[in-house]
Amino acid sequence: MDWYHLKKKCQEQLSMALKGKEIRNAVLEDLLPLLWHGLTDKAIALLEEMEGSKIRNRSIMDKLVQYLDRNKPYIPCYAIRKHLGLRNSSDIGEKMNDLVVSNRQKHNGMSWSRKGSVALASVTTLERNREWRNWFEDGEINFKLAANGS
């Protein structure tokens, strides 16, 4: 899970769950560093132990807690990733989705079945990676990691 979307989700949910932006900002000030360091259990505990007088909508708060709990395996320590020079965003994946799927399938009012969408994405990926001939003639695809060229 990328940092941008996790942070945005917390901001949006807390805006709806808490009584006012001052309370929301104070909670975010405590919550976001915990999530940045991958301390999801502590972040959940912070939300669960919050005073009832600060909460406007308990069900939205519960949904945020459930979201964090459900996604715990996918919330890394973003601080370590940054220190190691690794990405904390999904921008490459989103761009590839734009190029492979969205560009063709989300225009002109088109509607696609799941099966058709997967098929078109597969063929488009073969074409973008210049692997269509290998696949159609030999039934094989050359797999190369871009980082090391192997």
**Which has more pLDDT, 56 or 149?**
56
pLDDT tens-digit series, residues 111-121: 777 787 777 77
Give CA–CA dist 105/110, Å, rounded. Answer: 6
State residue 46's pLDDT score: 98
pLDDT tens-digit series, residues 75-98: 999 999 888 888 776 655 566 666
State residue 150's pLDDT score: 43
Q: What is the pTM of this model?
A: 0.64
State residue 41's pLDDT score: 98
Kindly indicate the confidence band of residue 71, based on its pLDDT and cuts at 50, 70 and 90: very high
